[in-house]
Amino acid sequence: LETIRARLQTVPLACITPVFSTRETLEPDYQELSDHTREVVRNAVKTEPMHGDEHTTLIEGLDLLGPKDADGFSGDGVHPNDLGFNLIAERISTRLSSWT
């Protein structure tokens, strides 16, 4: 983020944590990796010089496609299907439209 921001100081950036994967309920190691990755993204957005950057927003992937959206996953339980991508698009557009 620092590298991008150094070159593109006012370009809006949306950083998104990973969406849910059904593998998280079946594989503890995968759950741990997902939680870790979400925390890395959150921390990257919070650290300087990003802290207070009005041109960067954090979007939680679990808000875009979460455990209650089981019908939105393909057969592998990891990748969204057409419904899942539609849910993500609707939810992210709502979030970005309210971003000032």
Does residue 10 come out as left (phi exceeding 0), alpha (psi in the -120 to 50 range) or beta? Answer: alpha
Q: How do residues 33-71 score in pLDDT, each as one tens digit?
A: 999 999 999 998 888 666 667 888 899 999 999 999 989
> Would you tell me how many other CB atoms lie within 10 Å of the CB of residue 80?
20
Q: What is the DSSP letter of 11?
A: S
Q: Provide the token pair at 100.
A: 């000032």
Q: What integer pLDDT is reported at residue 51 of this predicted model?
A: 65
Q: Which residues pair with 14 in a beta bridge?
A: 57
Q: What integer pLDDT is reported at residue 1 of this predicted model?
A: 85
Q: What is the rounded average pLDDT for all residues in the chain?
A: 90
The model's pTM is: 0.86
Q: What integer pLDDT is reported at residue 50 of this predicted model?
A: 62
